Structures are given as structure tokens and as C-alpha cells.
Chains A and B, each alone.
Chain A
């Protein structure tokens, strides 16, 4: 019997190359994402103020955080914002997708119009809506000039209503994208099922309610996951649209974190708020990603 052929150097290198190529990205992610997460979480248990400092204070930052009215306001704003933003985007996206799925002429143009806000920066969106909603020069002023003297629309300057202007601008920016997701879902449904249901005598309404919409479950799930993580990350839009005001009427956790960390030199508390944001996102994303990646196996 001949002796075993040598496993040469080149062959061995080839078997290591894939891992070698993946390693820079992996190292970056491990350090800059997971390492940093650990560092931030650690900071949230320290007495860091202007600069990181390593005096352990236990849960003090968290208990301070939960006593701050500023934080509570940003949380309740988040609640209102997320609930409205997610539900309006979903309903609007689904509705427009269904309408657009009726063999509409110029569908391509309409789709482009609905989707272009996605390409814009929130700073641009915020600027446009900020001045359009401004009572001094925007809609209110315009309608009054046109002769509707008693018209009032000052939500953006009104503590009780300003948060809804954030919802409006955010919905404007993202609902077209949600529409596209649902449209793709609708186009993926087997037409023969629909034909069969029609032969069974289902009306259009029942067709959608009983057959089509239930089949869009994956699209609903993806829309929810994406919208909720976008909601939690919302930052630029508030900065550009209202700056968190009037007062604290439109503060969100993201703006809270930013101002406590960088303007108020309360890094420990800022880190604690960031940790809570991360946990919220993780609670939504991890089960979703887990399910998605497991299916693919």
C-alpha cells in the first residue's frame, strides 16, 4: 500500500482562508458592538459623570433614572409615539398596498412617490415638516391668509399635541416602506387559492378578511419588528422637528440619553437609559432573529 499523500501547505491554507477572511469583520463586531455593550452596561453601574469613571455604585443610576420626571416623560412619550406610529403605519401600509394591488395604472409611479421619503434624512424630513407645521408661517398662517381667519393649528408649539406632529412626520417617512412590504406579501400569495375562494362564492371583503390578510402574517411580523426598533431608535427626527420641545413634550429615550450623557454630564444615568433601550430592542429582535435563522437551516 502506498503511503498517504501529503496534505500540502496550500491545501491547509485554503481550509483556513474562509475563517481568516471572516475574522476582521467578526473582530470588529465583537469589539465595537458586544464589547462596547458590555462597557456601557458596566458604566451604568458606575459613578461616571463627564468622563467614564469606575467607582461602582450598583443600581443607583437606575433608581435615580426612574425618579427623574424627565425620563418618565420620555417613556410615556415613547408609549404614545410607538403605539400610534406602529399602528398607523401598519394600517396605512396595508390599506395602500391592497389598493395598489388592484391592477392600478401607473402603479410604478405611485409606488415611487409613496416610497421616496425613505430615501430622505430625518433631518430633511424634520426641517420640511417643522416649517410647514409652524403656526407663524406654515399651514395656519396660509389658511388664515386665504381667508379662514379662525383656523388654528399650533400642535407643534403645543405641549399636549407636539408629540403627534412627530408621529405625523414619522408616519410620512416610513408608511410607504411598510406599504412595499405588504405589497410584496400580497404578490406572493398564490392566485389559484383566490380563484378557488371566488368559486366558493367569497365576496372581495371576505376574500381579504378570511383568506388574504391571514396569509400576510409574516409581513405583519416583519413590519412590527422593524417599526418597533425604528421607534425606539427615533432621534434625528425629534432633534430636527422639535428639539424635544416645547418643554419636554417630545423628549424620547434616545434624546434623553443624548442630553444626559453629552450636555448634562450624567454619563452613568445616560448609560443606564441606553441599557434599558437596548434591552427593549433585544426583547423584540432576538426571538425574531432566532426564529428566522433557525428556519433557514
Chain B
């Protein structure tokens, strides 16, 4: 499936076109609004916001809120800023993304090129796991992490994200490898290549686009996760989302909205950057993951 423009057969009049552009523009403003609010208010002093100037451009430009959100805002009990939590997130996201993508690639390879009786059912089981409301696994997962000595650790979170991410990564690679010509695999078999040699030498070199999709998808989902972070993280493994929520919801002291906004942007920045840099793959990935089963 592609979003490439094609020569549309529909023709529209000038008035209709103007209206269409107007509507599209209006909605573009609607979608940009929260980003605008976050950005302008993260660089102005607090009193400009409380004084009714939320929609205005800053009169006094300051990076103070950013500095505070990053390194000195009160989060939970300590005035550490979001910095340590940002690194917590990185330490959790990177291994989880790599492991779940590698497993997804291998699973997709097996499920399309080494098919066996019952493989579709197994895939169905893995796929359904993507859609369960995670509330159903929270209690036993907490117990299990405790039993494995991983409660409250970053590695525990990595495990959780791998387990509940492989359904999607498998889906992506499976759909991608399904249209990869099976004759190539057969040719390689006759040439004497084994299971891993075929994967490594034949399939993997052509897997760039889908690997990008899988990585972006996993990165976004894991970075943005709140439920697992809130449920299973310990004091020194809390991810960015949980820390941001603590910052915003904390009831002590004055509400520093400008710091909240700066923190929100900090939490959004990595995924936003990934989306802007590799957005086209991201869209394609969403399509592949949702429209096709």
C-alpha cells in the first residue's frame, strides 16, 4: 500500500477547491495548536502565562524553563529535573527495540519461508497478544518480575517491552517477507546455504526498509509507554513519561506551567525527531501494521 499521489479522475471547481484548502488549513492549525502552545510557553516567564498570555508569543524570551525541566525541577522527592529519567528511557528503549526487532525478523522469516503445519495459528496467537488490554497481565507480570529478581529494574522493563512488542515486529517482517520471492530461498538451498546463511546473506540485506519501520514503531511505542513504566519501574528506572507525569501532577508549590511545557517537549523530542526524519517510513509502517493482518 502506498500513499503516492496518482492521477485522480475527480475534478473540482474553483470554489470547491478554495473551500477544501480552507478546511485543510483550519485542521492543520488545529493539529498544530498544542505544539504551538507547548513551544511558546516553554520559553516565557511564568507570569506571562498566568497573566492570560498563553496564546501570545513570548515578550521576554527565556530558556530558564528548559534548563529547570532538564536539570533541577522537583520530580517526586528529588530536585533532579528530567535528565536522569531521560537516560533511564534510553537505557530501556535501545535494548528493547533491538531485541524485539531481531526476534521479529527471525520469526517473520520462519513464518513465511519455513512454513509448517499450524504456523498461522501460532502467528495468530502472537498477533492477538498485541491487542490485549495490558491490564490483564499487570498483576502476574509484577509477580513474575519479582520472582526473577527484576522488579523495579530497567532490565525488567526491557523484558516487558520485548514480550509485548514481538507481536508487532513479527507482523511487520512476516508481511514483508511474505512477498519476498520464495524461489530465492530455494536457489540458496540448492547452492548449499543453511538456515542462518540464507537469512543473513539473502534476506537481511534486503530488509532495510522494514527494519526501519519496525525500529521506529518500537521506539515510539516503548518511549511513549506509561502503563508499564508506572507499574513496574523502580525509583531509579522510571522512564521519561512517568517522570513527566510526576512533574505535572505534583501538588506541592507553585505550578510552573512553563517548566511543564518544556518538560513535555523534552519527552516528545526523540519520537518527534524520529517522525520528522523518517516520517515516510513511519506512515508506511502504520499502514502495514494495521491494514494488513
Contacts and interface: CB of A to CB of B under 8 A. Distances in A.
B140 interface: yes
Contacts of A36: 136-137, 140-141, 144
Contact of B8 (A30, A103, A219): A103
Interface string A100-124: 1111100100111111111111111
Interface string A16-35: 01110110111011101111
Interface stretch (B32-40, B72-80, B149-157): B32-40
Contacts of A172: 30-31, 34
A52 B146 CA distance: 13
A261 interface: yes
Given A36-B141, A99-B23, A267-B139, A290 B124 contact: yes
A172 to B, nearest CB: 7
A191 B226 contact: no
28 contacts: A17-B195, A21-B109, A22-B111, A25-B107, A28-B163, A29-B166, A30-B125, A32-B163, A33-B132, A52-B143, A100-B24, A102-B20, A114-B27, A120-B268, A122-B226, A123-B244, A124-B38, A127-B248, A137-B52, A142-B53, A142-B55, A172-B31, A181-B290, A185-B291, A194-B10, A239-B230, A274-B136, A292-B293
Given A36-B140, A289-B127, A277 B133 contact: yes
A130 B267 CA distance: 16
A132 interface: yes
- Which 6 residue pairs of A and B lie closest in terms of their CB atoms, listed nearest first? A292-B293, A145-B52, A18-B114, A121-B224, A194-B9, A119-B275
A111 B283 contact: yes
Contacts of A139: 54
A222 B291 contact: yes
B2 interface: yes
A123 B292 CA distance: 29
Interface residues of B, number: 110
A157 interface: no
B50 interface: yes
B136 A102 contact: no
A121 B226 contact: yes
Contact of A116 (B38, B227, B241, B272): B272
B82 to A, nearest CB: 12
Contact of B271 (A100, A115, A119, A142): A119
A104 B21 contact: yes
A228 B195 CA distance: 40
Interface residues of A, number: 118
Interface stretch (A37-45, A61-69, A83-91, A158-166): A37-45
| Interface class of chain A by DSSP | helix
Nearest to A208: B10
A102 B126 contact: no
Interface in A146-162: 146
B254 interface: no
A124 B30 CA distance: 16
A81 interface: no
Interface in A213-229: 218-219, 222, 226, 229
B131 A285 contact: yes
B179 to A, nearest CB: 11
Interface of B: 1-12, 17, 20-21, 23-24, 27-28, 30-35, 37-38, 41, 49-55, 103, 106-107, 109-111, 114, 116, 120, 122-129, 131-141, 143-144, 162-164, 166-167, 170, 178, 194-196, 220, 223-227, 230-231, 241, 244-245, 248-249, 257, 260-261, 263-265, 267-268, 271-272, 274-276, 279, 282-283, 286-287, 290-293
Nearest to B224: A121
Contacts of B133: 229, 232-233, 254, 274, 277-278, 281
B272 A119 contact: yes
Nearest to A229: B131
B132 A278 contact: yes
Contact of A26 (B9, B51, B126, B248): B126
Contact of B245 (A10, A226, A239): A239
Contacts of A262: 231
| Interface class of chain B by DSSP | helix
A142 B54 contact: yes
A103 B5 contact: yes
Contact of A191 (B8, B107, B114): B8
Given A112-B279, A119-B274, A180-B3, A240 B245 contact: yes
Contact of B275 (A107, A116, A124, A235): A116
B8 A101 contact: yes
B279 to A, nearest CB: 6
Contacts of A219: 291
B137 A32 contact: yes
Nearest to A26: B122
A141 B48 CA distance: 12
A297 B131 contact: no
A52 B107 CA distance: 34
Contacts of A257: 135, 138
Nearest to B133: A277
B9 A29 contact: no
A288 B253 CA distance: 50
A167 interface: no
Most chain A CB within 10 A, of B129, B245, B260, is at B245
A195 interface: yes
Given A25-B126, A130-B248, A281-B132, 11 more contacts: A36-B137, A36-B140, A113-B31, A125-B34, A184-B1, A222-B291, A233-B134, A254-B135, A273-B135, A274-B138, A293-B127
